[in-house]
Amino acid sequence: MSLEPSGSEPDTLMLRLSDIHPPRGRPRWAVNDSTLTIRLPWHGPDQEAVNWLAAELADRVGPAVHPYEVAALLEAEGLTAPMVRERYGHPNLFSLAAALYEQVPRTFPEPAPAADPWRPDTVRCLLRGVLFALPGLAYLLTAPLWNVREHASPLIVAGLVSWAWGQALGHRAHLRMATGRREGARTLLVGAPLGALVATAAAAPLAGSGLLLLATAAQSVYLAAAGVLLVLARERLLLAALSPLVAGAAVLPWWEPGDLARAELPTLTLVATIFAAAWALREPLAAPAVPGAALPPVLSSLPYGLFGLAAGVLVLLEARREPYAVIVLTVSMGPAEWLLYRYRGLSVAALRAARTPAGFLLRSVDNLTLCLLGYLLPLWPAALLTGVGPVALLALGAALWTALLLQAFGAAWLSALVSLAAAGGAGAVTLLDLPPGPVAALTLCSAAAALCLYASVLWLLGRPAPHA
């Protein structure tokens, strides 16, 4: 449909100016002055005036893809039909726009680079990795008070249950926070104590004494309270709560604190963490409730809990042979989270740069490989420094990181099932003492899970749709 005038009727909205002076910000050529201009009957465009106008508007005419865009620009600048005829010798606005469009070369400048929406908080990610490892100092402080190896079973069972519960509760709390802060806080207020109770009850049959059951309950309560602070992004508050434990462990090489201090410092840390969690919940609980907020289905958080259980079993199997592997993997969760954000940012950049689905897939392969190697390469020297076998540690780390990546994009059931299969296979070989042995079985199961998850990431995330 043509938008150009077909007769002698005016082609633009006629404007009457109240002042002969140009408005502020408006070029002088766009305003009719007081000089009487008399043009003889039609004798063609005034090329000199058109050239001057083209030079003035070249930066805005160049990106146009049709003369109508230039016509809209001219009209927005205040050019009227009489001005077009009297100053530039063209019969109407569209004729002048077509002349400018032909005269000015086409230029299509690249848009300014947009900010990375997934830019990670480096300090926060590194701090979270440290916070995951610091609670282990409690076992170092209390080691002379009891035989940890002989009484480890209830602590391990409670830890696995707490880990699985915490993963599922964190997912559900984030879902509720998308509805409202109060709703997310209420989920944590109910779910965290319930998780501590379930973990303690699961380990109670294995506790041979009241003191051991009390230690198991303290561990479960701490993990629940710390989970609340991590979900609410109050890492610095958790670090402050852990300061008595850190201070006590720091002086051990030079000073023997005694049995009382060894017991009191972890207790003080536990109490501080509980109060910190309660303090962090005060503000969101005071927020107004969202009317008519629907509860998400419980099954939506189940795969996250199953993955937490599978990851805990895999790490436990590695810790049976190499105890320091737990420390390495725990600290590495901070850089792992940073790389998850980095992968998402690189994927958005690839989405903007790629021209075809195949090109995006190739960029996705590069991004995935780069981020996975960025996570695994620091694990190699860390394993050598701690005396941990690097091959099994790297295979386990690759499986955990790719599973977390799939979870970040909502493919939770796939990562949970693959991780459960790896944990079940390695656990069965270990418990039944089957060939090829616990070490080889853990390495093979972890490597197989990592390859499967790597291929799944490329299959699911190698398309533009999940990143749009």
DSSP 351-378: HHH-SSHHHHHHHHHHHHHHHHHHHHTT
Domains of the chain: total: 3
Over residues 287-310, mean pLDDT: 89
Distance of alpha carbon 289 from alpha carbon 293, whole angstroms: 9
Give me the percent of the chain exceeding a pLDDT of 70: 89
Residues 309 and 286 reside in one and the same domain: no
CB 384 within 8 A of CB 328: no
Task: Report the number of secondary-structure helices (H) and strands (E) in the chain.
Answer: 20, 0
Report if residue 110 sits inside a domain: no
Structural domain includes residue 350 = yes
User: Is residue 173 in a domain?
Assistant: yes
Q: What is the pLDDT of residue 111?
A: 67
- Examine the domain organization and report whether 290 and 305 are in the same domain: no
Domain assignment present for residue 398? The answer is: yes
Same domain assignment for residues 316 and 424: yes
Q: Is 468 helix (H, G, I), strand (E, B) or coil?
A: coil
pLDDT band for position 308 (cuts 50, 70, 90): very high
Place of tokens 């100016």: 17
Q: Which amino acid is at 31?
A: V
Please give the backbone phi and psi of residue 286, each rounded to the nearest 5 degrees, phi first: -85, -10
Note whether residue 115 is domain-resident. no
Crossing angle between the packed helical segments 412-432 and 302-321, to the nearest 10 degrees:
30
Lowest-pLDDT range of 156-165, 233-242, 249-258: 249-258
Last residue of a domain, one of 278, 296, 314: 296
Q: Which of 242, 270, 296 is the last residue of a domain?
A: 296
Angle at 238 between CA 233 and CA 244, to 5 degrees: 170
Do 215 and 353 belong together in one domain? no
Q: Is the pLDDT of residue 34 over 50?
A: no
Q: Looking at the domain assignment, is residue 324 inside a domain?
A: yes
138 and 151 both lie in a single domain: yes
Burial class (CB in 10 A: 0-12, 13-18, 19+), 229: buried
For residues 158-172, average pLDDT: 95
* Residue 31: predicted pLDDT: 45
The pLDDT of residue 38: 44
Q: Are residues 136 and 272 in the same domain?
A: yes
Taking the C-alpha atoms of residue 402 and residue 193, their distance in angstroms, rounded to an integer, is: 31
pLDDT per residue over 69-102, tens digit each? 888 988 888 888 888 888 888 888 898 889 889 9
Q: What are the tens digits of pLDDT across the range 6-16?
A: 554 444 434 43
- Examine residue 11 and state whether it is found in any structural domain, yes or no: no
32-41, 160-169, 452-461: range with lowest mean pLDDT: 32-41
pLDDT at 105 over 60: yes
Residues 270 and 413 in one domain: no
Residues 245-269 have a mean pLDDT of 89
Q: Mean of the pLDDT values across residues 138-159?
A: 83
pLDDT at 2: 59
Please give the residue that has the higher pLDDT: either 232 or 261: 232
- Looking at the fold, whether 265 and 326 belong to one and the same domain comes out as no
The last residue of one of the domains, among 296, 321, 340, is 296
Q: Same structural domain for residues 359 and 418?
A: yes
429: in domain? yes
Q: Which tokens is 152 given?
A: 């480890």
Q: pLDDT (tens digit, 9 = 90+) per residue, 20-30? A: 344 444 454 44
pLDDT over 90, % of the chain: 51
Average pLDDT, the chain: 86
Contact at 8 Å (CB) between 165 and 295? no
Please check whether residues 124 and 91 belong to one and the same domain. Answer: no
| Tens-place pLDDT, residues 369-380 | 999 999 999 999
- Residue written as tokens 């003889």? 40
Task: Please write the tens of the pLDDT for every residue from 339-377.
Answer: 999 999 999 999 888 888 899 999 999 999 999 999 999
pLDDT at 405 exceeding the cut of 60: yes
Per-residue tokens: 148: 């940890």
Section 269-279 average pLDDT:
96
Same domain, 57 and 166: no
For residues 290 and 331, state if they share a domain: no
Interval 186-209: pLDDT, tens? 999 999 999 999 999 999 998 878
Domain span at residue 43 reads 28-103
